[in-house]
Amino acid sequence: MTTRSKRFSVVVLVLLVVLYGLFAQPMTERKVSQDKEYLQTYFQISPLPSPVSGEAFGAALQAIASEDYVDETAFTPASAIASVVKAAGYDELAQTYSVQKASSRLALVGITGDDPYLACAVDAGVVDAAEAKELAYGQSLSGDLATELLMSVAEANGKGRNILGYSDDPDIGAKIAGAFSKVELYGNSELDEIGAKLVESQASTGYGLKREADDARFLPSLTLRYGHDSEKHAKQLIALLNSEGIRVAIQIEPKTSIYQYMLEWGPYTNTPTYRVEKYSDDLYLVHAIEYDMEMEFASKEDLLRFNAIMERYSKKNDENQKEGSTAKLISGAWWQPLYSASFKPNDSDYAMIYDNILYSSDGAYSIHPFTLPEGKDALQAKEAELSGRKPVSEVRYVDNAFYRYLTGTDHQ
């Protein structure tokens, strides 16, 4: 290699290091910020100030793990990681580490020491190499590191995000296919009876039945809920987001969609994914497999781009459906797609409705009939009358096309 080539290589290497520093740091800061918000949303844990005290860390850890693992009187980074390993369910494993094994495992991540709990935490993925070094050599526990330790415990105990994968995972198509292979029509006798009476009394035209075990538990401020019934559409939509440079966390929440079958629609054929049942002489109900695909975006900016992407590539309208149109849409595009957020992303693309949630008496299932604001009170009164329980009123902000469907003002 010539001297000139060597100099060029060094310059390129320096530039790469600089660029990595510029982009990696904001990503780390963003993750910590989102994890702080997550802990506050799901566990009511306020951000911990640095240095973190044993009392504060112990209370936060107990809010997640439901047990007291922290010795507040002798609190150090080393004792913190021991508490975290125990709370994450790896205590017995850590005790199997010999001094030699612990030191050799820690040496692989550049740490001199033989703490079995720290070595176990690295091997179990509870902490990464950088976090392990901060714990090994730090004199106190920072608020940011405490946040990441608490999130690791939440995730290890199944109390974090219930995630299928990320849109840019190399095998995301296979993961989606695997999720759909387990989907089947399901019911809940208690809520099925109440829901049927809601439709029979014309308090609602239909609703979705969901299982709480499928809840994604994503960060509400970055999440859209997308409803559809096609596996092929889900795969293409996720690939579409990748093509637009948008990365999302994904969870498929199967649901049974129940609505009135009109006899004038003609004969019906029951299948494993679609069933029509006679409830009374005047009421036949469709039970069909659908899903909510929860998508947690990396940033608010990416979430705001979603509506325009849908409008262009995944929504039918009079213009792109007329004869001679050259517009191309992904498979399963609807005239009135359904996606919503628990907050209002912006004033122009979303409108407010209510999800009038009624849970089963054991809390394992829920029904979700939508209403416009003016219909909320009447529907909830009927739900309370039929169940003897108070429904949960959840504000949702839906895309304009679905809002037009609810109001009946337009077909597109």
Running DSSP on this structure, what letter comes out for residue 390? P
Q: Name the CA radius of gyration of the chain, rounded.
A: 26
Per-residue pLDDT of the chain (412 residues; tens, 9 = 90+): 554 444 444 444 444 343 344 334 455 788 999 999 999 999 999 999 999 999 999 999 999 999 999 999 899 999 999 999 999 999 999 999 999 999 999 999 999 999 999 999 999 999 999 999 999 999 999 999 999 999 999 999 999 999 999 999 999 999 999 999 999 999 999 999 999 999 999 999 999 999 999 999 999 999 999 999 999 999 999 999 999 999 999 999 999 999 999 999 999 999 999 999 999 999 999 999 999 999 999 999 999 999 999 999 999 999 999 999 999 999 999 999 999 999 999 999 999 999 999 999 999 999 999 999 999 999 999 999 999 999 999 999 999 999 999 999 999 9
| Closest-CA residue to 144 (of 155, 157, 130) | 130
pLDDT, residue 353, reads 98
Question: What is residue 25's predicted lDDT score, i.e. its pLDDT?
Answer: 46
Instruction: List the end-to-end C-alpha distance of the chain, in Å, as a whole number.
Output: 64
On whether the CB atoms of residues 289 and 183 are closer than 8 A, the answer is yes
Q: 308 near 219, Cβ under 8 Å?
A: no
pLDDT at 228: 97
What is the reported pTM?
A: 0.89
The full set of domain ranges for the chain reads 27-156, 165-407
Q: Residue 27: what pLDDT? A: 53
CA–CA distance, 337 with 333 (Å, rounded to integer): 8
Q: What is the pLDDT of residue 14?
A: 41
403 is written with which tokens? 């809002």
pLDDT in tens, 338-390: 999 999 999 999 999 999 999 999 999 999 999 999 999 999 999 999 999 99
Which of 69, 71, 119 lies closest to 93 in space, CA to CA?
Answer: 119
Run of H or E residues at 170: none
283-297 and 338-341 strand pairing? unpaired
**In sequence order, what DSSP letters do the residues of 38-69 get, joined into one string?**
HHHHHH--PPPPSSPPHHHHHHHHHHHHSS--
Spell out the SS3 assignment of 378-405: HHHHHHHHHHCCCCEEEEEEEEHHHHHH
Where is 166: in which H helix or E strand?
A: strand 165-166
Element containing residue 313 per DSSP (H, E): helix 300-313
Rounded alpha-carbon distances, angstroms, from residue 374 to 158, 210, 230, 377, 379 = 39, 25, 32, 7, 10
Instruction: At 192, list the tokens.
Output: 């099925």
Q: Residue 2: what pLDDT?
A: 54
Give the SS3 label for residue 285.
strand
Which runs of E-coded beta strand occur in 348-391?
A: 350-359, 365-368, 370-371
Return the pLDDT at 28. Answer: 79
